[in-house]
């Protein structure tokens, strides 16, 4: 597995005591270094993404609003999402990481990639920042795989605690992409509803739901959908904020659930004979994030 990241992702500042802080990525950089020394992952530096590529998904005026911000201070785009002078470089490295991840797995350099990046992406829609997100990294990864490698069927799995409103809106029922999600509901961002369509499997979870409900959702809903859709490639929006120690959700996943979901996705990918790229989304208790991400990565 390759672990793709860049120090520029530390430069995105979010404001005093904001949960989506550079400290999250520092924890994961420590983890990546340790896992590399143990031979579990190879560290790879993320390149800068091409701005024109981002403009193929996001409105060019919005892309300019994000990438041409130079500070000083913070510019709020949403109640909890602000630009800083370091945001453009971080956002370009985040998209660059997922593009490189797709390239490395689809060129056959590795079976799986993990993109340890911030800002996250799954709440971002075509022309709107939301929920700490600016550009939708996972949908950009899907677009790159389709365009550059002719991948016709892609599955996106999202186990973050929050509904991926941006991902779902940007895909807009696209028949070439299966989106499977679990998320606390009703809860931020106050969108999303139960769905069992061939290309949209949404499993809302009540506050307090934990291992049992999560595993039932994945085994009973995600895996059958994956088997019938037969994706050629799997992307994962890997958010770790459904952990019981996380301050930003009321779900109660345990450390062991993250080992389990890593193993389960890796087994599904092996069964379907496809590669995976996982992309960091949420996870706001620093210790729980580091433990969960480590267990998840060791599952591959
Ligand atoms: Zn989240």
Spatial contact of 9 and 93, defined as CB atoms under 8 Å apart: yes
Catalytic residue, chosen from 12, 123, 144, 163, is 123
Helices (H), the chain: 22-37, 51-54, 60-67, 87-106, 137-149, 165-171, 211-217, 223-229, 255-272, 286-298
123 an active-site residue?
A: yes
Ligand 1 centre and the CA of 170: distance in Å? 18
- Cα–Cα dist 244/111, whole Å: 30
- Cα–Cα dist 204/214, whole Å: 10
pLDDT tens-digit map of 194-222: 999 999 999 999 999 999 999 999 999 99
Predicted confidence at residue 219, as pLDDT, reads: 98
The gap between the terminal CA atoms of the chain, to the nearest Å, is 8
Predicted confidence at residue 229, as pLDDT, reads: 98
The domains of the chain are located at: 2-298
Measure the CA dihedral 263/267/269/270, to 10°. Answer: 140
DSSP-assigned beta bridge partners for residue 197 = 200
* Residues with CB in 5 Å of ion ligand 1: 160-162, 239, 241, 282
Q: What are phi and psi of 28, to 5 degrees?
A: -75, -30
Query: pTM here?
Result: 0.99
Average pLDDT over residues 92-120: 98
- Cα–Cα dist 297/230, whole Å: 23
- Among residues 250, 245, 235, 260, which one has the least CA distance to residue 290? 245
Q: What kind of fold does domain 2-298 have according to CATH?
A: 3.40.800
Ligand 1 centre and the CA of 278: distance in Å? 15
Ligand 1 centre and the CA of 187: distance in Å? 10
| CA–CA–CA angle 5, 42, 9 (5° rounding) | 5
pLDDT tens-digit map of 48-58: 999 999 999 99
pLDDT tens-digit map of 10-39: 999 999 999 999 999 999 999 999 999 999
- Cα–Cα dist 96/88, whole Å: 12
Measure the CA dihedral 30/32/34/38, to 10°. Answer: 180
pLDDT tens-digit map of 260-282: 999 999 999 999 999 999 999 99
């Amino acid at each position: 597995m390759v672990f793709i990241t860049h120090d520029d992702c530390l430069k995105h500042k979010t404001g005093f005591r904001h949960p989506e802080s550079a400290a999250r990525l520092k924890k994961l950089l420590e983890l990546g270094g340790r896992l590399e020394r143990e031979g579990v992952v190879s560290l790879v530096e993320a390149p800068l993404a091409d701005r024109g590529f981002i403009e193929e998904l996001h409105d060019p005026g919005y892309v300019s609003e994000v990438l041409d911000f130079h500070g000083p201070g913070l510019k709020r785009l949403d109640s909890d999402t602000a630009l800083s002078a370091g945001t453009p470089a971080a956002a370009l490295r985040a998209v660059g990481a997922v593009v490189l991840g797709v390239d490395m797995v689809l060129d056959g350099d590795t079976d799986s990639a993990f993109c340890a990046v911030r800002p996250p992406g799954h709440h971002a829609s075509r022309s709107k920042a939301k929920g700490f997100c600016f550009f939708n990294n996972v949908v950009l990864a899907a677009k790159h795989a389709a365009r550059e490698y002719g991948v016709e069927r892609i599955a996106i799995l999202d186990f973050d605690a929050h509904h991926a409103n941006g991902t779902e809106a940007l895909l807009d029922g696209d028949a070439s992409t299966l989106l499977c999600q679990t998320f606390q509901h009703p809860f931020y961002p106050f969108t999303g509803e139960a769905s069992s369509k061939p290309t949209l499997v949404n499993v809302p979870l009540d506050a307090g739901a934990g291992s049992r409900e999560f595993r039932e959702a994945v085994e009973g809903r995600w895996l059958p959908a994956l088997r019938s859709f037969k994706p050629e490639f799997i992307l994962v929006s890997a958010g770790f904020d459904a952990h019981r120690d996380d301050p930003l959700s009321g779900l109660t996943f345990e450390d062991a659930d993250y080992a389990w979901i890593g193993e389960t996705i890796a087994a599904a990918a092996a069964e379907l004979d496809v590669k995976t790229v996982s992309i960091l989304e949420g996870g706001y208790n620093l210790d729980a994030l580091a433990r969960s991400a480590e267990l998840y990565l060791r599952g591959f």
